[in-house]
Amino acid sequence: MTIKNYKNIIEQTELRGEIEVFRDRQHAGEALANLLRENLDNKALILGIPAGGIPVAVALARKLSLPLDALMVSKITFPWDTEAGYGAVAWDGTVLLNEALVKGMGLSEQIVKEGMDHALKKVEYRNRLLRGGRPLAQLKHRSVILVDDGLATGFTMQTAVAALRKADADPIIVAVPTGHGDAVRKLANLVNTVYCPNIREGRFFAVADAYEHWADVEEQEVIALLKEFQLPENNQGKKNKMG
């Protein structure tokens, strides 16, 4: 079902505004697969954002028998709160800042620079740890499906999309199990299609509320999940074992 005036947003209207609609991230990925199956490009590359997006992306890739890789993007966080962010950095150095928030919080240029440097180091560290430092596949004119476990502000996802646009990926599809309506609509203006089964509105929003079972995803779990989808340099990949 599409949202009125947004033909490129695909949701499940029976899940709108509901909480605890997915058992866990695997179940959420399977639900996304059911939405995407009808309009599937069998040459698409699934790109999961670590850490929470990887279990969702793996379940999606298994169901659709598509290749998968991890896409490194990190929030730029406040020095006093490592959970809250005011921007994000992508694997290629693309940076997006929430300028209104930076100004409103009175953040100095030095604090912002230090935050950006820290986020970029995290991206580089995760690329070495989770992907062995491999370069991404050739993305030019390739269909990509960008996956995370949910959208709160959507700023991290917007940064990933900006970097994919620079790489000439096309079309770009965003697939997330749950998202705040504002974030979903903003992304719909930036990409070809947004698939989001569970859209919620309101002032108080938490991605975790869409899940019955929620926990942080540890790096070792991500490494183990990605081993199934180790791709050669041409990134065409072998068909996954559980497809």
SS3 of 111-161: the string is HHHHHHHHHHHHHHHHHHHHHCCCCCCCCCCCCEEEECCCECCCHHHHHHH
| Per-residue pLDDT band at 229 (split at 50, 70, 90) | confident
pLDDT digits (tens, 9 = 90+) for 30-58: 999 999 988 888 889 999 999 999 999 99
| pLDDT above 60 (res 239) | no
Percent of the chain with pLDDT over 90: 75
> Could you give the CA distance from residue 71 to residue 204 in angstroms, rounded to a whole number?
28
pLDDT in tens, 208-227: 999 999 999 999 999 999 98
Q: List 3's β-bridge partners, or say none.
A: 6
Model pTM above 0.75: yes
With a CB cutoff of 8 Å and minimum separation 6, the contacts of 103 are none
- How would residue 2 be classed by pLDDT, with cut points 50, 70 and 90? low
Helix (H, G, I), strand (E, B) or coil at 219: helix
CATH 3.40.50.920 fits 2-72+134-227, yes or no: no
Q: H or E element: which one contains 164?
A: helix 155-166
- 110-146 tens-digit pLDDT: 999 999 999 999 999 999 999 988 888 889 999 999 9
pLDDT-derived band at 236 (thresholds 50, 70, 90) equals: very low
Query: What gap in Å lies between CA 174 and CA 191, rounded to an integer?
Result: 7
- CB distance 171 to 143 below 8 Å: yes
Q: How many residues does the chain have?
A: 243
Report how far Cα 45 is from the mean position of its chain's Cα atoms: 13
Task: Tell me the average pLDDT of the chain.
Answer: 90
